[in-house]
Amino acid sequence: MTLFFLTVVFLALPACQATSIGASRRGGAFSRRISKHAREENPKYVMKTSQGDITLELYADKMPYTVSNFIGLANEGFYNGLRFHRVIPNFMLQFGDPHTKDNLGPEGTGGPRGGTTFVNIATKKVETRLPDGSINDEFLPDVKLSNEKYTIAMANTGRPNSGGSQFFINTKHNAYLDYFNKQTSSNHPVFGKVVAGMDVVDTIEKLGSATGALSTPVTVYSVLTSGASTVPAAESQAKVDTNTNSILPAQPPHVSTGRTVI
């Protein structure tokens, strides 16, 4: 069983605990700089949750491949009815595991079905997910988006090219999670940010714990294009693979194991 996680790395820094979160996929040939393809405005999607709405701006102008994967899943209804399965205060909120709804495997281990497809909004080409449902890491040398507070980034298993459907919302600036920050081995590419509903993010964060367990379940009823009023009718062709995006329980802060799965 492959788990998608946010790894916590405890470094010998002055009264400081560093936390890292895994790796996502792709860049290379499929993810060239697309300034000529950039839209006047990046797409926005609204997560309608049991605690209120969260609006996300997706960085289609800078991270088209990763954003296209998200849009494909959202438009198919993949995310509808899922729950936040791991929330750690002063760290992040993790979401996107289909097992929080279908109970087909341990929470934190689910993702898209292997071999499913989505359209790259920059190139208009059809992209195919890997056999395990993951996508390639989009690590671009000229795009360096840091894991700042309220940004969203891909979760993964800690291995290259292992991100799928799970992502997280940073609730503090977690710079050591950046793929271009060599402080730790974590590689979590940012592909968007919360532009409305920060208060909802803050509320959900307060429901979390050091282990990631929530005191009250938080369900995401739908993830829709901003302005949409109905849930997409299409059933997701992407669900569900039990070999993706999971996050293991966090270790106590004093444990120095080099790389601890959270």
Q: What is the pLDDT of residues 144-185, one digit of tens each?
A: 999 999 999 999 999 999 999 999 999 999 999 999 999 999
**For the whole model, what pTM was predicted?**
0.78
Weakest mean pLDDT among 11-20, 142-151, 189-198, 247-256: 247-256
Q: Which H or E run includes 239?
A: strand 239-241
Question: CA 188 to CA 191: how far, in whole Å?
Answer: 9
Question: CA 249 to CA 44: how far, in whole Å?
Answer: 31
The predicted structure's pLDDT at residue 226: 85
Question: CA 198 to CA 51: how far, in whole Å?
Answer: 11
Question: pLDDT tens-digit profile of 58-116?
Answer: 999 999 999 999 999 999 999 999 999 999 999 999 999 999 999 999 999 999 999 99
Residue 248 has pLDDT above 50, yes or no: no
* Phi-psi sector, 244: left (phi>0), alpha (psi -120 to 50), beta: beta
Nearest to 82 by CA among 70, 105, 99: 99
Hey, which residues are catalytic here? 86, 91, 94, 156, 168, 177, 188
| Token duo for residue 66 | 């990763």
